[in-house]
A and B are shown apart, each in its own frame.
Chain A
Amino acid sequence: MTTVLARQATGRVLSPTRASLLVVGGLWTWYRRNWRASVTSGFLQPVLYLVALGFGFGSQVTASPATLGLPYVQYLAPALLAASLMQVAAFESTYPILAAFRWQRTYLAIASTPITPSQVLAGQLGWIAIRLSFTAVAFTLVAAVLGAVTGPGIILAVLISVLTGMAVSAPIVAYAATLENEGQGFNVIFRFIILPMTLFAGTFFPVDQLPGWAHPLVWITPLWHGTELSRDAAFGTLELWPTLGHLTYLAAVVGVGVYLGRRVFNRRLAV
């Protein structure tokens, strides 16, 4: 055999946290180059909703106990924050995931580095949380300038809304990771889960306006829990036990989503 030069590879294994942060870093680099495409859905759409429904439609609504005594736009703003983040979360958890598995196969590239499938998932979810935070802050600033914000409680509402978004994101990411192609899966999610939640989970009008049989359906939606919390936080009306209940529910949904996501990612990236 010919002389073999001693060769020492330079790669090394990173801690799980650092590995996940590098995945976030990769997605952030992508976003910096391609953010323009997501401005409409991520920022403009929530603001247009606030203007059209909060101010436009809201001008026809008188402040009453149903609006907690507030002008409609102020009643709407913290709930619309949560609902908007849910929509952005749903979008960010569908096509980009399928693209990374199937169309561009970027996850497969990462899987051949020291990064593990679970770390890929953690990085992806971490990135979505950051992405939601951008939207939340931008939306809140615009709402504040327009006079739709009642006080500093909105800061807490931002955090709660991000959690709400993640409660939608984590299970959808897990589902998207099972798909081989687009099919009807995403349409079903948007039409039969996201849209009804947006309309009926308490964003635009109180849930007690719905018939009694519909209430349990509303209670299982993450958005209803997020909306209740977000309004209470914004208006300074949080109470211990309901708050704990809502937070526990949202955290549990995130937990189930992460658990399922880890299983699917590991199965898909190590076959």
Chain B
Amino acid sequence: MGGNGALVRADGLTKRFGEFEAVRGIDLDVRPGEAFGFLGPNGAGKSSTMRMISCVSPRSGGELTVLGMDPDRQGPRIRARLGVVPQLDNLDNDLSVRQNLHIYGRYFGLGKAHLRDKAAELLDFAQLTERADDPVEPLSGGMKRRLTIARSLINDPELLLLDEPTTGLDPQARHLLWDKLFRLKQDGVTLIVTTHYMDEAEQLCDRLVVMDNGRIAAEGSPGELIAKYSTREVLELRFAPGTQQDIEPLVADLADRVEVLPDRLLLYTADGEAALAAAHSRGVQPLSSLVRRSTLEDVFLRLTGRTLVD
């Protein structure tokens, strides 16, 4: 392993595509056994970083070691020990579910007898045993995703890279997948996940970085990030659209920070109920109010802004 036991270590890691700089010098340490997340809007550089760590994309600058090796020189040796779940499924739709596992496993130098048992185990894990000999094409999106994850485990990887594992899935399929990923983590697999779902990051990740515009904007555990970039609670005051700006000066001093949205005010404060009581005593009459805990979403929007990224 590289210095201080990190499975992945990046130092000033950079990726350029011609003139465009997708990753602008990031530093990372991913430790054994942890679930590490890349959070960020589209185009933040998450996937480019993942592809460099997967050893399918050479870095343009900086240092990178994966499993203690240099991807530029020892790509195949590193890949032999990784599991990769790409953003877009790349299963062979014309083959059966079992054949997809088997052929992929062969590329890792695994023997046929070993693969027979391993495929059975993974089909069970992915709840696809009954579809084992069906072609992949007609499977649902959730089933294909589960098969892609099962396939990535064929070599018992030490490090599993998941690029937006649940994008496009319905809530049931997402929860099932999270369940699978928890089990893997308990088995000692180190996970690196990219996502733009805050709930996914909060559910899965021990530690995460928020990426924006090719750089790391913040780093820490979900709790640390909330403590650092948001407040413990958020008071949401809803008003008729257009009237909320006039209220803002009345409550500005009740919170660390006030955000004005089209139909409401968000008051970031340690004690939401107290702020609400204070607002009421000043005669503020919102249509409705809500005190909730701060979430990663608050952190994310604070760090990366509310402007739509294309």
Give residues in A with beta carbon < 8 Å to B. 1-2, 4-14, 18-19, 22-23, 25-26, 29-30, 33-34, 104-106, 108-116, 269-271
- Compute how far the CA of A33 lies from the CA of B135 in the bound complex, rounded to whole angstroms: 10
Q: CB distance A9 to B81 under 8 Å?
A: yes
Provide the bound-state CA to CA distance between A13 and B74, in Å. Answer: 10
17 more contacts with CB within 8 A, not counting A10-B110, A11-B110, A29-B103, are A1-B33, A6-B188, A7-B188, A9-B80, A9-B81, A10-B156, A11-B79, A13-B76, A18-B109, A23-B107, A105-B86, A105-B90, A108-B90, A110-B107, A111-B56, A112-B86, A114-B79
Count chain B residues whose beta carbon lies closer than 8 angstroms to a beta carbon of A. Answer: 43
For residue B240, give the distance in angstroms from its CB to the closest CB of chain A. Answer: 50
Cα–Cα, bound, A240→B200 (Å):
71
Q: List 23 A-B contacts (CB under 8 A).
A: A1-B34, A4-B33, A7-B188, A8-B156, A10-B108, A10-B114, A10-B155, A11-B110, A12-B80, A13-B80, A19-B107, A25-B103, A30-B92, A30-B94, A30-B95, A106-B90, A109-B86, A109-B90, A112-B84, A114-B107, A115-B107, A116-B76, A271-B17
CB-defined contacts of A29 to chain B, threshold 8 Å: 95, 99, 103
- A109 and B91 contacting across the interface, CB-CB below 8 Å: yes
Tell me, in angstroms, the Cα distance from A110 to B151 when the chains sit together: 12
A116 to B76: give the CA distance in the assembly, Å.
Answer: 7
Residues of chain B within 8 A (CB-CB) of A14 are 109
| Residues from chain A with Cβ under 8 Å of B57 in the complex | 270-271
How many angstroms between the C-alpha atoms of A13 and B155 in the bound complex? 12
User: Does B227 touch A at the CB level, under 8 Å?
Assistant: no
Residues of A within 8 A of B75 (CB): 116
The 8 A CB mask of B26-56 against A (1 = contact, 0 = none) is 0000011110000000000000000100101
Q: Which of A9, A19, A111, A271 contacts B155 (CB 8 A)?
A: A9
Contacting pair A106 B108 (CB below 8 A): no
Which B residues are in CB contact (< 8 Å) with A270?
56-58
Q: Is the CB of B109 within 8 A of A12?
A: yes
A112 touches B108 (CB 8 A): no
Chain B: which residue is nearest A107 at the CB level? B90
Cα distance A112–B93 in the bound complex, in angstroms: 18
Q: Is the CB of A11 within 8 A of B103?
A: no
Residue of A nearest to B89 (CB): A105
A210 CB → nearest B CB, Å: 43
Contact (Cβ within 8 A) B107 A113: yes
B110 cross-chain contacts in A, Cβ below 8 A: 10-11
The residues of A that contact B106 with a CB separation of less than 8 Å are 22, 25-26
* Count: A-B pairs, CB below 8 Å: 115
Q: Which residues of chain B have a CB within 8 Å of any CB of chain A?
A: 17, 31-34, 51, 54, 56-58, 75-77, 79-82, 84, 86, 88, 90-96, 99, 103-104, 106-110, 114, 155-158, 187-189
What B residues does A4 contact at CB under 8 A? 32-33, 188
Using Cβ atoms and an 8 Å threshold, which residues of chain B touch A26?
103, 106-107
Chain A residue contacts of B80, Cβ below 8 A: 9, 11-13, 113-114
Contact B54 A112 (CB under 8 A): yes
- Where chain A touches its partner, the secondary structure class is loop
A1 and B31 in contact, given A10-B108, A108-B90 (Cβ under 8 angstroms): yes
Residues of chain B contacted by A9 (CB below 8 angstroms): 80-82, 155-158
Complex Cα distance, B145 from A189, in Å, reads 37
Knowing A26-B103, A269-B56, the reply to whether A12 touches B92 (Cβ < 8 A) is no
Q: What separation, in Å, do the CA atoms of A22 and B107 have in the docked complex?
A: 6
A104 touches B93 (CB 8 A): yes
Would A33 and B94 be within 8 Å (CB), given that A12-B109, A114-B80 are in contact?
Answer: yes
CA A10 – CA B84 in complex, angstroms? Answer: 15
User: Nearest 6 A-B pairs (CB), nearest first?
Assistant: A5-B188, A11-B155, A11-B108, A11-B80, A4-B33, A105-B90
* Alpha-carbon distance A106/B110, docked complex (angstroms): 19
Which residue of B has the minimal Cβ distance to A22? B106
How many angstroms between the C-alpha atoms of A109 and B41 in the bound complex?
A: 25
Closest-by-CB residue of A relative to B88 is A105
**Nearest CB on A from B98, distance (A):** 11
Cross-chain contact A13 with B77 (CB below 8 angstroms): yes
Compute how far the CA of A9 lies from the CA of B159 in the bound complex, rounded to whole angstroms: 9
Contact of B156 among A2, A7, A34, A108 (CB under 8 A): A7
Interfacial chain B residues near A30, Cβ < 8 Å: 92, 94-95
Measured CA separation A110–B76 after assembly (Å): 11
What CA separation (Å) do A209 and B56 show in the bound complex? Answer: 53
Q: How far, in whole Å, are A262 and B4 apart by their CA atoms in the complex?
A: 38
B56 and A112 within 8 A (CB): yes
Q: How far, in whole Å, are A111 and B71 apart by their CA atoms in the complex?
A: 13
In the complex, what residue of chain A is closest to B106 when comparing beta carbons? A22
How many Å from the CB of B43 to the closest CB on chain A? 16
B104 A33 Cβ-Cβ under 8 A: no
Q: Is B79 a contact of A113 with CB atoms below 8 Å?
A: yes
A105 to B136 alpha-carbon distance, docked (Å): 14
Q: Which of A13, A18, A33, A104 contacts B90 (CB 8 A)?
A: A104
| Of the residues A25, A34, A108, contact of B94 by C-beta under 8 Å | A34
Bound CA–CA A37/B91 (angstroms): 20
Residue of B nearest to A117 (CB): B56
Please indicate the chain B residues that have their CB under 8 angstroms from the CB of A2 in the complex: 33
CA distance A190 to B118 in the complex (A): 44
